[in-house]
Amino acid sequence: MSADWLGALYGGLNIILEPHRLALLWGGVLCGLALGILPGIGGVAGTALLLPFTYSMDPAAAMALLLGLAATTTHGDPISAIVLGAPGHAASAATALDGYPMTKRGEGARALGAAYMSALLGGLFGAVLMAVSLPLVRPLILFIGSPELLGLAVFGISMVSVLSGNAPLRGLTAACFGMMLAMIGSDPQTGTLRWTMDSLYLWEGLPLVPLTLGVFALPELCDLLVGRTAVVQSGKVENNWRGLWEGSVDCFTHWWLNLRCSWIGSVIGAIPGISAAVIDWISYGHALKTEKGAQLTFGQGDVRGVIAAESATCSREGGALIPTIVFGVPGSAGMAILLGAFLMHGLVPGPDMLTKNLQITYSMVWSIAIANILGSGLCYLFSSQFAKLATLRYSLILPVVLCMVYIGAFEGKRQWGDLYSLLFFGVFAWGMKHFKWPRPPLVLGFILGAVLERYMFISIQRYGFEWMLRPLVVVMFAASALSLLGPFLKDVKAHGGLRGMASDFHAPRFRAQQIFPAFLLVIFITMMSQALTWNFYARIIPMIVGTGAILFCSLSLLTDIFKSESIKAASLEAAAKGEVEQKIHMDIGTNLTDMSNKEIILRGAIFFGWMLAFLGSMALIGLIPTVPIFIICFMRVEAREPWKIVLPMATFMCIFIYVLFDQLLTIPWPGSFLGDAIPWFKEHIPSM
């Protein structure tokens, strides 16, 4: 780095250390942490909220405030994922796979400590990489086109074989279903409406937020009610400060993993068009494939899983800022809003940001670095209180969290359809969890499905079929093939060849668990029959994906029907003795094994009955009036909680939601029957 760049780096530090700019950075950090903890809200809404307040600020101060929020939203993300197993955002979903099992065995503080330290190190790595690479990055980003983005999307999809543990066929089926869900809406090529069921809500496709909350948050909250206990008994919780220290030390013990995953997060974050929500899955899959013994322990409470997910997630912000500054191409939704702030303050992305405005550019680098330090420090300070949440009774946790989940889901499109989607995917994912179908591939397929289709058409139209011969594309496709075929080849080798695998099958045996894949097959066949009537260009990708879904689901169902139980038992016994490598079900397991299926189903129905009651009350009187009524009814009916706890909690939540979401964020609440029928209610009562 030349003397000019070093001088600009020092000048940027002096700019950000001005007291008023440092105070604004601190304010952004506080906002980022608060929004990170709230399910479904995220940094995009926060950045949009703070943008108008920057009008009268100088450019460096405005960037300090906005980047302070953007850099620390992900620090708050893992708290609910680790403590409750209910990730509030897609970016923290992979963290829950190992963080929540650690909490259930009393190591929640250790998981939080590992998350905070890996987030800090990842964020600092992203800032350093941005500072070093700014002079060099322009030719690299220009080299990446739609074929390379397509190759990266295919590689991301190939991670399902890793994320599916001992059920690769189920994982591939779930991924294909996620890709089909991503194609719902108006086809960008022809305008054909695909699988919209004559619903205007689906014309623009399903939003990610309600799907993520439904798939990952609701099943864990439902099991909390089914078990009717705290996440972890208070006697099993380790000393908080000791646990935080152990988690922090884990990050330095596994420094090489932290460094690799931070690199993955920064590099993928710098590529426009690839969702930030997929970064943690790719990093987690990388760790699962490369770390010693990971196949035996990941998904069961391995701290390395937390480190892999969080270091990648928190390093992406520095990477995402690079194309925004150098080309004016936002690397994420938050960066798109930040680009608007650039233009509002007279900062033009491109050569000017690397010449006459270089000090301001480096003040942004310092903003990200300092914000990560402040954010992690605050998380450590209050972590002991976060860890104790896991010891609270379910009747104290659930009503509050469910209210926030509803509001978070409503941030998808701010329509009633968001709430219906939340409930549908909650029921569906609860079934997936208990039938042992992995959920991560579903979300991964959904995130990458639209990306894959879009860049496929762009690549063909621009390059013909020559795009398949581009060097990086060939490398990514080869890596994807190895990732997908790896589990199958291992099974063939373990059974002594294809003939040995064939000998494992015998006469059919039918079980209740086979209802779920049969149900999926009906869905796939129905969707495919509808796709046959579409325009050729609108149906070609859905037909390919749908054919794969039917093939993988059928193979999984047939394997389950004809697989020999004696062979299964022998394999499990050998695995228990350490004679073979045991693969795992890559999802959060259930701890309800001591309950009968009938009791689990009954209590699950009660949980979703409460969800429906919440929706019904919202439809009648509006969301804010529903909150205190729901909290009071739930706490009194479920556990006879004393009024001295119920009334203050209901009052506090009502005031909190009104002030933050109604007054500050000015969310346009869904309409209600009373609000529409009686104008006085709409004028005087919020959310009606």
**What does the pLDDT look like over 12-31, one tens digit per residue?**
888 888 888 899 899 888 88
Same domain, yes or no, for 564 and 652? no
| Span of 37-41, 208-212, 249-253, 308-312 with lowest mean pLDDT | 37-41
What pLDDT score was predicted for residue 77? 74
In a domain, residue 135? The reply is: yes
- Model confidence band, residue 525 (pLDDT cutoffs 50, 70, 90): very high
Task: Give me the chain's average pLDDT, please.
Answer: 79
Same domain, yes or no, for 676 and 547? no
Secondary structure of 407-473 as H, E, C letters = HHHHCCCCCHHHHHHHHHHHHHHHHHHHCCCCCHHHHHHHHHHHHHHHHHHHHHHHHCCHHHHCHHH
What pLDDT score was predicted for residue 680? 54
Burial of 35 (0-12, 13-18, 19+ CB in 10 A): buried
Task: Find which of 45-54, 232-241, 657-666 is predicted with most confidence, using mean pLDDT.
Answer: 657-666
Contact assessment for residue 449 and residue 179, using Cβ atoms and an 8 Å cutoff: yes
**Mean pLDDT, residues 302-320:** 84
In a domain, residue 241? The reply is: yes
| Bigger pLDDT: 46 vs 404 | 404
Same domain, yes or no, for 233 and 300? yes
Contact assessment for residue 85 and residue 231, using Cβ atoms and an 8 Å cutoff: yes
Task: Return the number of other C-beta atoms located less than 10 Å from residue 594's C-beta.
Answer: 7
3-state class (DSSP) for residue 193: strand
What pLDDT score was predicted for residue 570? 44
In a domain, residue 586? The reply is: no
Considering 544, 576, 608, which residue would you say is the last residue of a domain? Answer: 576
Triad 94, 97, 102: Cα angle to 5°: 130
Length of the chain: 688
What pLDDT score was predicted for residue 49? 62
Query: Which range marks the domain in which residue 477 is found?
Result: 3-576
- Model confidence band, residue 519 (pLDDT cutoffs 50, 70, 90): very high
Q: Does the pLDDT of residue 337 top 80, yes or no?
A: no
The residues with which 505 forms a beta bridge, in sequence order, are 563
Considering 521, 545, 576, which residue would you say is the last residue of a domain? Answer: 576
In a domain, residue 585? The reply is: no
Domain count, the chain: 2
Q: Does the pLDDT of residue 208 top 70, yes or no?
A: yes
Same domain, yes or no, for 511 and 632? no
What pLDDT score was predicted for residue 648? 92
Same domain, yes or no, for 464 and 537? yes
What pLDDT score was predicted for residue 571? 46
Triad 619, 620, 623: Cα angle to 5°: 60
Triad 159, 164, 169: Cα angle to 5°: 100
| Bigger pLDDT: 660 vs 374 | 374
**Mean pLDDT, residues 644-661:** 89
What pLDDT score was predicted for residue 567? 47
What pLDDT score was predicted for residue 328? 65
| Bigger pLDDT: 195 vs 164 | 195
| Span of 70-84, 222-236, 633-647 with lowest mean pLDDT | 222-236
For residue range 383-423, what is the model confidence (pLDDT) as tens digits? Answer: 766 666 667 788 888 888 888 888 878 876 788 888 999 99
Of 614, 509, 511, nearest to 564 by C-alpha is 509
d(CA 152, CA 115) in angstroms, rounded, equals 26
Q: Does the pLDDT of residue 213 top 60, yes or no?
A: yes
Of 145, 147, 175, nearest to 456 by C-alpha is 147
| Span of 122-136, 434-448, 545-559, 575-589 with lowest mean pLDDT | 575-589
In a domain, residue 353? The reply is: yes
- Model confidence band, residue 495 (pLDDT cutoffs 50, 70, 90): low
Q: Above pLDDT 90, what percent of the chain? A: 12
Same domain, yes or no, for 669 and 533? no
In a domain, residue 643? The reply is: yes
The identity of residue 536, as a single letter, is F
Distances (CA, A) of 528 to 39, 171, 202, 534, 543: 34, 20, 18, 10, 7
Q: Does the pLDDT of residue 249 top 70, yes or no?
A: yes
d(CA 478, CA 304) in angstroms, rounded, equals 27
Q: Does the pLDDT of residue 327 top 50, yes or no?
A: yes
Same domain, yes or no, for 605 and 554? no
Same domain, yes or no, for 572 and 672? no
In a domain, residue 327? The reply is: yes
What pLDDT score was predicted for residue 611? 92
Considering 541, 576, 611, which residue would you say is the last residue of a domain? Answer: 576
Contact assessment for residue 276 and residue 324, using Cβ atoms and an 8 Å cutoff: no
Of 128, 55, 577, 180, nearest to 318 by C-alpha is 128
Q: Does the pLDDT of residue 483 top 50, yes or no?
A: yes
Same domain, yes or no, for 528 and 604? no
In a domain, residue 553? The reply is: yes
Same domain, yes or no, for 527 and 669? no
**Mean pLDDT, residues 563-581:** 46
Secondary structure of 481-512 as H, E, C letters = HHHHHHHHHHHHHHCCCHHHHHCCECCCCCCH
Here the tokens at position 12 are 């940027």
Same domain, yes or no, for 248 and 142? yes
Same domain, yes or no, for 602 and 567? no
